[in-house]
Amino acid sequence: MLSYRHAFHAGNHADVLKHYVLGLVLAYTVQKEKPYWYIDTHAGAGMYSLREGYATHNAEFEDGILKLINAKNLPKPLADYVAQVQSFNTGNLALYPGSPSIAELYLRADDRMRLFELHPNDYKILDENFRSFGKQVKIEMQNGFAGIKSCLPPPPRRAVVLIDPPYEDKQDYTHVVDMIKDSLRRFPTGTYIIWYPILQRGEPEEMVDSLKALNVPDWLHVSMSIHAPSAEGFGMHGSGLFIINPPWTLPSTLNETMAPLTELLALDETAHFTLESHIS
């Protein structure tokens, strides 16, 4: 199934949460001089136009990143994320960076990126966007569920892994758990960031419960809903991230910033966030 194109949703509330937290994790990772790998199992195109093409159909970015750009007195961590997005633009918001482009901002000379994208059109765009990086960035046209096995453990024994499948196939929820189990056997000390949508169906919650049941010593779970579920029972009304081996600083940063972020992105009075963690 290759019907999903992330460009339709670029810069929406789910992207904001995902890329804000990804930036926090990477900022912590590069505090150490030792090299690391960034691995993205479902990388997408890497950069998205908000002025033309898919993103203009529903203009989901208007209820996402644009609200943060127009906000005043943001907490510094959120302001830093907005500055990262703005660094890819000159003047008004025209481009939104996907996760590989956010990660690019933290890439040092000895660090490496390994990107997987199965959709041929998005793969082509991704390859063009990162061609100038040479061997530092390796891109493969395959599903990262399988491709990640060749990356673990990475030579520097340090890595941040983003798992962000489209979930258009409900089996993806099971694939995520199976992949995490295998990855932890290969590389137990990596930082794994699993994104998921909040829907009116049981699979996302079941996946999170299965991840908690792995009994890893350190994890963090954050979610944000921006409006009530639709009366028809369809659509995504929020999203979440389950992070294995998160930075020890992450719970306090999110505890300070999730309330203002949720308030900014709320579409009705039911908007809320959850934050739980176990850091040994």
Catalytic residues: 164
Gap between the terminal Cα atoms of the chain: 40
- Taking the C-alpha atoms of residue 218 and residue 188, their distance in angstroms, rounded to an integer, is 11
Give the span between the Cα atoms of 119 and 139, in whole angstroms.
12
Phi-psi region of 60 (alpha: psi -120 to 50; beta: other; left: phi over 0): alpha
Question: How many other CB atoms are found less than 10 A from the CB of residue 61?
Answer: 23
C-alpha to C-alpha distance for 65 and 210, rounded to whole angstroms: 31
**Token code pair at residue 124:** 């082509």
For residue 115, give the nearest of 190, 41, 26, 46 by alpha carbon: 41
How does 106-131 read in b/e, with b if 16+ C-beta sit within 10 Å? bbeeebbbbbbbbbeebbebbbebbe
